[in-house]
Structures are given as C-alpha cells and as structure tokens.
Amino acid sequence: MEPSHSTRNAAAVRAASDAVLLTLMAQRHTDAATAQMAWEEFYYRHRQYLYNVVCKVRIVNASDRYDLVQETFLRIFEKAHTFQEEDSTDSAQGRIRVLAWMGRIAQRLFQDMLRKYGCLRLLGDMGAAIQDDAQTQPQVVESDEPPSPALQAVLQAIESLSAREQEIIRVTWQYYTPGQQQQRLPHDVVAQLARDFKTNPENIRKIRERALHKIKAMLLSSPHSPMEETQP
Amino acid sequence: MTRKPTTSHDAPSLEDQIYDALRVRGWIIPQTEEDVMRTEVDIEHNPIPLPPELEDPSELLRKLFPVTREVEPEPSHVEERRAQRGEATATQPQSLLECFRARTGWRPSVIASTLEVTPIFLSDLSRYRHVVPVPAQEALADRAAQRLPNVQRTDVVQVFAHASQPRVAAFRRAPYPETEPMTYAEMINHSGMTAEAQHFWHSLAEKEAE
C-alpha cells in the first residue's frame, strides 16, 4: 500500500527539529492537522525533561506539578510564533535553546500559580512535619556535581534560616532577574505572602530584610564566602 | 527575561548569589542555555519517572482545539435511575484512542495518520459517539481492522456501543471543562482534517440520511 499524504506528513513531523515543530504549530490557522501532530511530537519529546524540572522545584501537590507541566505545553502551542530561531546548523544547540525558551514559559506560569494559590499550598509549610501530599512527592536526587564551595556556603546560609524566612526568600527569588538593579517584588505577591503567613505586607518586607542580613552575616564568617573573594 | 552575564571583574551581588544558589538547587526553573545543559546532565543521571497522568496528551489536545457548547448537566432523575440500577458512574468506557493504543502500542498521531484522520477527530468520535452516524462507525471499524495491527472490527463496534460519559483525569479534583459539538458535522469541521477527508466523513452522514 502506498503511504498516504497524512502518513508521509506524520513521518516528516517526527523527523523535524524542535524549532521546525514550533513553526508548524505557529501555522495552526492554515494547517491545523499538522500543527496538532507537531505539538504532540513536541510533547512526547520534552514531557520527561519538563516534569523532572518541575519536580526539582519541589511543588508539594502532585496535581499542581501535573498542571504546571500541562499548562506549559498548552502555552507553548499558543506562543509558538514568538520563538525566535537563531541561525544555527547545530541542531543540539537549537534544541537547548528551545528548552531554555520553554523554561521561561514554565517559570512565568509558576509565578502565576504562586500568585493564585500562595506559597503554602505550592511549596508546603517547611516547618510542618507532615505535608499534604508527601506520599506522591517524587524522590529528587541532588546533582552528581556538587555546587562550588562558594555556592554551597550560600545554600547553607539559606538553609539555616527559619522555615518562614526560607519560604519568603524562595518566593521572592522566583521573581528576581539577575543583574538588574532596584528590583521590587510585585505588590500582589507580597500581599499573597502576607495572607499565607497571616501578617501584613510591611512585616513580610521586614522578614525578608532580616533574612538577607542573616545570610550576609553567615557568608562573611564562612571560609568559602563568595563575598570574601570579592574583597580587595 | 534577559540575563546580564556577570564577569570575573564584577563582584556578584548578594542577591545574584542567592539566585545562583537557588538555581543550582533546582528551585528556579532553568531558563538559560547553560542552565538547561547542566539540568539535562542531572536528569540523565537521576531521572524521575514520568507519572501515568502525563503519558497521554489526548486530553490536552482537546483543550487546544475546543468546541464551544457546554454540556448540559444530566437530569437528577437519570442519575437516580442509574443509581437504582447499581451502575457505577465512575466506570469510564474505553475510548477509541485508548483501545487502539493498547492494541498497537503506537502514538495517537501515528494511529490517526494511518487511519487518515486526526487525533482530535478520533477522540471526538469516542466522546460524542451518540451523534456518530452508523455508516461512519462502520467505515472507521473497517479501516481500523484493515490498517491497524491486532485491531478487530468488533473492538470499534463495542466502543460505539457504550454511552459516553465525562472523563476525569486521575489527578484532577474536577472533570475537565466539558464541551460538545452540536452535530456530527461540527465535529468534522473542528477536526483539522484535509478537505478531502472531511468530504468523505460528511458523505457518510448523508448516506445515513438517505
């Protein structure tokens, strides 16, 4: 039997690069069937990576983890036309670029979820002994390659904070852009944190400042302090 | 988000150090090529298995190509009668895609292209099976039996024999928002199939009308 047009099309989609799949999705208004196939192929290729990434964020409830993965793939379909492909003959590099783009979409959706549900539901109460959905929490193994001594010192400083301070630092830095000066946490995020911890926004800011002072003090006393490295 | 690179000449701020620490720990989703490469190595060495809830993208495909009419709730007297008969409302009939995937082990897109339809059309045929004309059911059954390994004509006939019910994903607290095409014709029009294929499936409805 001669392969049909749609069978040939499916084979071409399976062989296409990630960037080409996004282009096909972007053409959904002119060729919906191929756009569907392209999206499905994209889903099968990257579902494992994205799920693993989401697990590392340590979202407590399984349903929230699944929602973040699924919503990201839905958003990718909607936003496929915004992916900027750079000239490159290296398909592996192109794939990495697509995954980084997907990460930015997932991060924005995670920020939206934090606004909507609050950190206690998503990240759990770090001070509580039993978490709501602890049985479904997948086993996340730390990286084989440990962080540098300097980063390790920062992590230890963060982990020495109280549960509430750690939560506030984790949420605050979800909205942080490295290298930018004078960053402010959005008001609605501060308000949500205040609701989560049954306090007011001003107190949330004070807790955050106090946590930063503690981290700084710990780093200055650490032999691996990254701050020491920068001293003249 | 554009990330300003920090050079060895620039002392990283405390804020940037905290960001890097959280990023390395995995608490911030990788958004740069460098982070992605590091994360891929981690995942390769310590993969977390994919849960069954994320295996099949069929439900998501439905959300990407929705139709607009909301399903009317089932009248309470129907639910009562069902309860009296002892029918388990949680029991969901197997869909065509589930049946074909189980028999062939193929992806939905491969199954659909082999049958010269789209995954969303196959999915809709199962969900709204009560509006599918008998000639269309028979055409699909013939095609599936001829082209898909391990699939019998009776498999398809049995799927169409079940009444459709709303599906609830195992991890969700509520069903996906249900939508229903008004007619079989609308189902075809939303399918994303080629004009030629749409004409074929429309013609089967006309055949029944005759």
Only one residue has tokens 């400083």, namely A157
Banded model confidence at residue A73, pLDDT cuts 50, 70, 90 = very high
Residue A104 burial class via C-beta count within 10 angstroms: exposed 0-12, middle 13-18, buried 19 and up: middle
Q: How distant, in Å, are the alpha carbons of A50, A59, A164, A182 from that of A134?
A: 21, 10, 19, 37
CA B129 to chain centre: 16
A166 shares contact with chain B (CB less than 8 Å)? no
Q: Are B51 and A176 an interchain contact pair (Cβ–Cβ within 8 Å)?
A: no
How many CB atoms sit inside 10 A of residue B113's CB? 25
> 3-state class of B179 per DSSP?
strand
Q: Are B113 and A6 an interchain contact pair (Cβ–Cβ within 8 Å)?
A: yes
Only one residue has tokens 């028979």, namely B138
Q: What is the pLDDT of residues B46-89, one digit of tens each?
A: 899 999 889 888 878 877 776 533 333 444 444 444 444 444 44
The per-residue pLDDT for B102 is: 82
Q: How far apart are CA A37 and CA B109, in angstroms?
A: 6
Q: Is the per-residue pLDDT at B17 higher than 70?
A: yes
CA distance B162 to chain A (A): 27
Here the tokens at position B138 are: 């028979």
The residue ranges of every structural domain in chain B are 14-45, 52-72+79-209
Q: Is the per-residue pLDDT at B90 higher than 50?
A: no
Q: Report the candidate in B109, B99, B98, B113 with the shortest Cα–Cα distance to residue B155.
A: B99
Q: How distant, in Å, are the alpha carbons of B57, B123, B187 from that of B52?
A: 11, 19, 28
Q: Report the candidate in A195, A129, A137, A138 with the shortest Cα–Cα distance to residue A168.
A: A195
Q: Are B54 and A51 an interchain contact pair (Cβ–Cβ within 8 Å)?
A: yes
CATH number of A142-229: 1.10.10
CA-nearest residue to A66 within chain B is B54
pTM (2 decimals)? Answer: 0.68
Q: Is the per-residue pLDDT at B176 higher than 50?
A: no
Banded model confidence at residue A230, pLDDT cuts 50, 70, 90 = very low
The per-residue pLDDT for A187 is: 92
The residue ranges of every structural domain in chain A are 5-123, 142-229
Residues in chain A: 232
Q: Mean of the per-residue pLDDT values for chain B?
A: 75
For residue A155, give the nearest of B25, B48, B57 by CB distance.
B25
The per-residue pLDDT for B165 is: 43
Residue B130 burial class via C-beta count within 10 angstroms: exposed 0-12, middle 13-18, buried 19 and up: exposed
| CATH architecture assigned to A5-123 | Orthogonal Bundle (1.10)
Contact (Cβ atoms closer than 8 angstroms) between residue B15 and residue A176: yes
Q: What is the pLDDT of residues A142-191, one digit of tens each?
A: 665 667 888 889 999 999 999 999 999 999 999 998 888 788 899 999 99
Q: How far apart are CA A217 and CA B98, in angstroms?
A: 58
Could you say which residues from 42 to 61 on chain A have a Cβ atom under 8 Å away from some Cβ of chain B?
43-44, 47-49, 51-58
Question: For an interface test with B, which of A24, A37, A209 has the most B Cβ atoms less than 10 Å from its Cβ?
Answer: A37
For residue B64, give the nearest of A51, A77, A144 by CB distance.
A77
Q: How far apart are CA B138 and CA A140, in angstroms?
A: 49
Range of lowest pLDDT (A95-104, A131-140, B30-39, B92-101): A131-140
The residue type found at A76 is I
The per-residue pLDDT for A2 is: 52
Q: Are B192 and A36 an interchain contact pair (Cβ–Cβ within 8 Å)?
A: yes
Within 8 A by CB and 6+ apart from B35, the residues are A100, A103, B23
Q: How many CA atoms lie within 13 A of B156 on its CB side?
A: 24
DSSP string across A2-63 = PPPHHHHHHHHHHHS-HHHHHHHHHTTTT-HHHHHHHHHHHHHHHHHHHHHHHHHTT-S-HH
Q: How distant, in Å, are the alpha carbons of A215, B22, B24, B202 from that of B17?
A: 11, 9, 10, 62
Which segment, B37-46, B87-96, B156-165, B174-183, is predicted with the most confidence on average? B37-46
Q: Which backbone phi and psi does B179 adopt, to 5 degrees?
A: -135, 155
Contact (Cβ atoms closer than 8 angstroms) between residue A176 and residue B19: yes
Contact (Cβ atoms closer than 8 angstroms) between residue B107 and residue A36: no
Q: Are B18 and A62 an interchain contact pair (Cβ–Cβ within 8 Å)?
A: no
Q: Which backbone phi and psi does B20 adopt, to 5 degrees?
A: -65, -40
Banded model confidence at residue A77, pLDDT cuts 50, 70, 90 = very high
Contact (Cβ atoms closer than 8 angstroms) between residue A41 and residue A16: yes
